[in-house]
């Protein structure tokens, strides 16, 4: 970190990176378009066949990759949405006079509706439940299609006419390829847009840490549901093209093996990568033809479904050996080529930068005296923090209640973790919540932030009861938190982390995200995020992967992220844990200045001295009970508190209080030192 760098305006630093990203995507899309135009002109009919189906299947694969990459969920029934839409489209155009375009739209809509109905209850659940349910859905769709007269049972729907575009019949593979290709390209662009949009970033944040994302106001459930429905829409569009191209829709297309094939495309292409899904669909279609040609030559006389061996092997080997799939391999190769050519962001430079960063933040400088240079750095850091602090709006006047806990209680079975705790957090003040291990601080904290629901009692934030609601509810109202065990969004860079803090201030949803119509908004928030990073001396590492930062700076980044939300109330969960002395001082000073700027802080902390030095009001929990609340001085003099801390009876504690005057002396020195720093 050098002073020059931080002095540069944010916009100038950002430029090359954004340009590079956009450029890469530009080039990628352009190359794809060119390849798609040229392909039918040069491909053999065999390849052409592969190409057309690869394009059709690329759509459901893109949808599935969004679901897996963004929502972190797997569908084992992607083919069922493909089939539902194919059936709907086929039935509409063969049985009704509805215009074909409208039929296609309706067909996709039916897929989305079914997805909504299935996802609505299931996406509330975690992990693999959706995978299991969609697996079930696939079988049900297959069986219903097979058994109902409405879908013409096993004979399916045939007699579908070829589509016409401007009076021209799409009568052969070449034209059909051109007919589908634009949709795949647009689908790809929409999907890429989505992954970089506010919603997309929020979802990848959810995958990194659901807790942290929700604390920033991300409504995980509704976003996931939207992506699930969207993925069904992609599958549905693929189904429409399938119906057009094969011109018969039978129950088999809803079958499990097709769902597996879609899954294979996504896994082979590269989990969670939209490009990978497109690549994967071509790879799988090539494999499908190739394996049938290759395997009988390896195993003579092999007939039957021998390509299964290939599928099985490829699936297993990719997961074990190449979890990144095709895209992962491409990335490795590009990196290798770049290193060979000596171009691009060299890893040595980057690691040097990192090295430098960690040198400047000695996480364990306990016994060693802080070097002169280091002291200056802190000095300037604090100075800087003061200079560029963001505005801290206060909706209520200083001193009035922002947060009120009333009778807050949490029972686990027979154990009462928090028992009838009542206190207020006043605006524009720092309130500390302390207590020995197991006192119920964290439980209390989690009930306030919404991570867990209280057994009884209320949490009112700005007069609105938020207990038992998901953290994103309180977060949207301006209450956010940091985490003791860091919850860093590892899939993005530092800037991306802080940018996520702006989530609540954004508006654009999934649709606008896909259409790429949120550029100005995104840029504005990015600038704010950049400013906050600069203000807190993290500007130099803004572009580094968040997980690469040393611990102390990750914690500061979390604070930046929380501040980016422009919170009314900031909850800090043991912010000092794991920080070096110097870092603690920077953070403490920062908090003081933020308070002065109007921010309300509630802090749970073990470092009692730090709390005493920092807080305007201290609440002490012991064994689930609130045993004391008041100014630091009042609390320190409370025998109950001493007893709680040193594990003694109260009478003993009285003696301790008298006996350890020396410690008091040390303690009272602390704030002075801080002020000097």
Partner 1 sequence: MARSHRRIMPVALAAAAALTLTACGGGGNFGGDDDTGGDGEAEEGPIVIGAVLDITGVGANLGVPEQNTLQMLADQLNAEGGINGREVELIIKDNQSTEDGAARATTELIQNDDVDLIIGASRTGPSLAMRPIVESEQIPNISIAANAAIVEGSDWVFKTAQNDVVVIQSIIDNMAEKGYKTVALARDATGFGEGIAEMITEVGAEQGIELIATESFEPSATDFTAQMTNIRNAEADANIIWGITPSAGLAQAAYVQLGIDAPVYQSHGVANDAFFEAAGDAADGVLAPMGRLLVADQLPDDDPQLPVIDQFVADYTEEFGTPPSSFAGHAYDAWKIAVIALEEAGTDADALRDAIENVSGFVGISGVFEMSPENHSGLDSSALIMAEAGDGRWNLAE
Partner 2 sequence: MLEVKDLDAGYGALRVLHSVSLNVAAGEVVAVVGSNGAGKTTLLRAVNGIVAPTAGGVEIDGHDVTGKPTEKMAKFGMTHVPENRLCFPSLTVKDNLDLGGWSRRGKLDLDPVLELFPRLKPRLQQVCGTLSGGEQQMVSIGRGLMADPKVILLDEPSVGLAPKVVSEIMTVMTRLAERGLAVLLVEQNVRASFKIADRAVVMQRGRVVLEGKPSELVERPEVRAAYLGGAAAA
Partner 3 sequence: MLVDFLQLTVAGLSQGSVYALLAVGLIATYTVRHVINIAQGDFAMLAGLGAVSMVAGGVPLLLAVIFAIIGVTVASVIMERLIISRVKNLTTLVSIILTLGVSTLIQACMLLAWGAEGRRLPTFPGSDINVAGISIRSQELWMLGALLVVGGGILLFYEKTKFGKALRAVAEQPVAARIVGISPVVASIVAFAIAGFAGGVSGVVAAPLYLATWSAGLLLGLKGFVAAVLGGLVSFRAAIIGALVLGVLEQYVAGYIDGGFKDAVAFLVLILVLIIRPQGLVLRQSAVRV
Of the candidate spans 19-27, 124-132, 645-653, 662-670, the one that interacts with partner 3 by CB under 8 A turns out to be 124-132
Q: Measured between alpha carbons, how far is residue 417 from residues 24, 51, 654 in Å?
A: 53, 61, 27
Q: Does 574 bind partner 2 (CB under 8 A)?
A: yes
Q: Does 524 bind partner 1 (CB under 8 A)?
A: no
User: What is the full DSSP assignment across 394-407?
Assistant: -SS-TTSEEEEEEE
Secondary element (H or E) of residue 480: strand 479-481
Among 45, 99, 127, 356, binds partner 3 (CB under 8 A): 127
Closest contact distance (angstroms) between CB of 269 and partner 3 is 13
Q: Measured between alpha carbons, how far is residue 166 from residues 43, 176, 416 in Å?
A: 26, 14, 72
Beta bridge partners of 617: 431
Tell me if 400 sits within 8 A of 427, measured CB to CB.
yes
Q: Which of residues 214-253 bind partner 1 (CB under 8 A)?
A: 242, 245-250, 252-253
Tell me if 437 sits within 8 A of 425, measured CB to CB.
no
Q: Does 667 bind partner 2 (CB under 8 A)?
A: yes
Of the candidate spans 190-198, 325-333, 360-368, 395-403, the one that interacts with partner 2 by CB under 8 A turns out to be 360-368
Which positions ≥6 away from 47 have C-beta within 8 Å? Answer: 39
Helix (H, G, I), strand (E, B), or coil: what is residue 570? strand
Tell me if 620 sits within 8 A of 613, measured CB to CB.
no
Name the residue nearer to partner 3 (CB basis): 121 or 407.
121
Name the residue nearer to partner 1 (CB basis): 24 or 663.
24
Q: Does 415 bind partner 2 (CB under 8 A)?
A: yes
Q: Does 299 bind partner 3 (CB under 8 A)?
A: yes
How far is residue 336's CA from residue 67's CA, in Å, rounded to a whole number? Answer: 30
Q: Which of residues 68-107 bind partner 2 (CB under 8 A)?
A: none
Q: Which of residues 54-113 bind partner 3 (CB under 8 A)?
A: 74, 76
Among 7, 41, 341, 397, binds partner 1 (CB under 8 A): 41
Q: Which two tokens stand for residue 513?
A: 């995200």
Name the residue nearer to partner 1 (CB basis): 250 or 480.
250
Q: Does 372 bind partner 2 (CB under 8 A)?
A: no
Q: Does 169 bind partner 1 (CB under 8 A)?
A: yes
Q: Does 298 bind partner 3 (CB under 8 A)?
A: no
| Site of tokens 């302390």 | 434
- For 155, half-sphere exposure in the C-beta direction (CA atoms, 13 angstrom radius) is 6
Q: Does 308 bind partner 3 (CB under 8 A)?
A: yes
Residues of 263-299 as b/e, b for ≥16 C-beta within 10 angstroms? Answer: bbbbbbbbbbbbbbbbbbbbbbbebbeebeeeeeeee
Among 140, 186, 329, 666, binds partner 3 (CB under 8 A): 140
**Strand 430-434 to strand 617-622: parallel, antiparallel, or no bridges (unpaired)?**
parallel
| Site of tokens 């995200």 | 513
Name the residue nearer to partner 1 (CB basis): 147 or 359.
147
511, interface contact from partner 1, partner 3, partner 2, none, CB < 5-8 Å by kind = none
Task: Please report, as ranges, the residues that interact with partner 3 according to CB under 8 A.
Answer: 74, 76, 118, 121-122, 125, 127-129, 131-133, 135-137, 139-140, 143-144, 146-147, 256, 260, 263, 267, 299, 302, 304-306, 308-309, 311-316, 319-320
| Site residues, partner 2 (CB under 8 A) | 363-364, 366-367, 415, 436-438, 486, 547-551, 554, 574, 576-578, 580-581, 584, 606-613, 623, 645-649, 652, 660, 662-663, 665-667, 669-670, 673-674
């Amino acid at each position: 970190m050098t002073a020059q760098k931080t002095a540069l305006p944010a916009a100038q630093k950002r430029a090359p990176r954004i340009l590079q990203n956009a450029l890469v995507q530009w080039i990628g899309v352009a190359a794809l378009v060119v390849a798609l135009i040229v392909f039918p002109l040069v491909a053999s009919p065999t390849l052409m066949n592969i190409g057309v189906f690869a394009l059709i299947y690329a759509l459901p694969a893109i949808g599935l990759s969004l679901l897996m990459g963004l929502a972190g969920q797997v569908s084992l029934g992607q083919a069922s949405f493909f089939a539902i839409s194919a059936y709907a489209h086929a039935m509409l155009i063969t049985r009704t006079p509805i215009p074909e375009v409208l039929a296609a739209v309706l067909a996709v809509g039916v897929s989305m509706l079914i997805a909504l109905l299935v996802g609505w209850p299931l996406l509330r659940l975690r992990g693999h439940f959706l995978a299991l349910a969609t697996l079930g859905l696939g079988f049900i769709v297959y069986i219903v299609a097979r058994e109902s007269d409405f879908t013409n049972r096993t004979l399916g729907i045939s007699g579908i006419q070829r589509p016409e575009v401007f009076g021209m019949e799409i009568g052969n593979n070449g034209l059909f390829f051109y007919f589908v290709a634009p949709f795949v390209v647009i689908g790809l662009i929409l999907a890429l847009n989505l992954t970089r949009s506010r919603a997309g970033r929020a979802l990848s944040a959810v995958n990194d840490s659901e807790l942290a994302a929700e604390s920033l106001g991300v409504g995980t459930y509704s976003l996931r549901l939207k992506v699930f429905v969207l993925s069904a829409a992609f599958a549905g569009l693929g189904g429409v093209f399938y119906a057009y191209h094969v011109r018969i829709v039978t129950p088999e297309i809803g079958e499990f093996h097709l769902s597996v094939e879609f899954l294979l495309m996504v896994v082979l292409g590269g989990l969670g990568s939209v490009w990978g899904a497109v690549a994967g669909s071509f790879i799988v279609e090539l494999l499908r033809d190739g394996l049938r040609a290759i395997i009988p030559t390896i195993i003579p006389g092999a007939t039957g479904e021998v390509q299964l061996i290939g599928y099985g092997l490829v699936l297993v080997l990719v997961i074990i050996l190449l979890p990144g799939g095709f895209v992962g391999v491409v990335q490795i190769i590009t990196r290798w080529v770049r290193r060979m050519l000596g171009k691009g962001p060299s890893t040595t430079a980057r690691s040097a930068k990192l090295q430098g960063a960690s040198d400047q933040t000695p996480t364990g400088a306990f016994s060693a005296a802080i070097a002169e240079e280091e002291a200056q750095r802190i000095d300037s850091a604090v100075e800087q923090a003061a200079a560029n602090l963001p505005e801290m709006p206060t909706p209520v006047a200083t001193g009035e209640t922002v947060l009120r806990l009333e009778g807050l209680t949490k029972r686990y079975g027979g154990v009462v973790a928090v028992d009838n705790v009542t206190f207020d957090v006043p605006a524009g003040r720092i309130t500390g919540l302390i207590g020995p291990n197991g006192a119920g601080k964290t439980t209390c904290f989690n009930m306030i932030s919404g991570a867990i629901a209280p057994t009884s009692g209320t949490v009112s934030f700005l007069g609105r009861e938020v207990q038992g609601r998901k953290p994103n509810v309180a977060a949207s109202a301006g209450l956010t938190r940091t985490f003791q065990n860091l919850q860093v969004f590892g899939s993005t860079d530092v800037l991306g982390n802080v940018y996520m803090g702006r989530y609540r201030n954004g508006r654009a949803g999934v649709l606008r995200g896909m259409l790429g119509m949120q550029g100005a908004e995104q840029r504005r928030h990015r600038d704010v995020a950049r400013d906050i990073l600069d203000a807190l001396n993290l500007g130099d590492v803004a572009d580094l992967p968040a997980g690469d930062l040393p611990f102390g700076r990750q914690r500061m980044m979390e604070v930046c992220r929380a501040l980016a939300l422009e919170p009314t109330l900031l909850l800090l969960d043991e912010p000092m844990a794991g920080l070096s002395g110097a870092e603690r001082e920077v953070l403490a000073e920062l908090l003081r200045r933020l308070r002065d700027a109007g921010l309300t802080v509630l802090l749970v902390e073990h470092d009692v001295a730090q709390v005493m030095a920092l807080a305007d009001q201290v609440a002490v929990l012991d064994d689930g009970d609130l045993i004391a609340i008041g100014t630091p001085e009042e609390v320190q003099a409370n025998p109950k508190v001493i007893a709680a801390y040193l594990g003694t009876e109260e009478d003993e504690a009285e003696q301790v209080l008298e006996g350890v005057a020396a410690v008091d002396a040390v303690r009272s020195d602390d704030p002075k030192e801080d002020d000097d720093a």
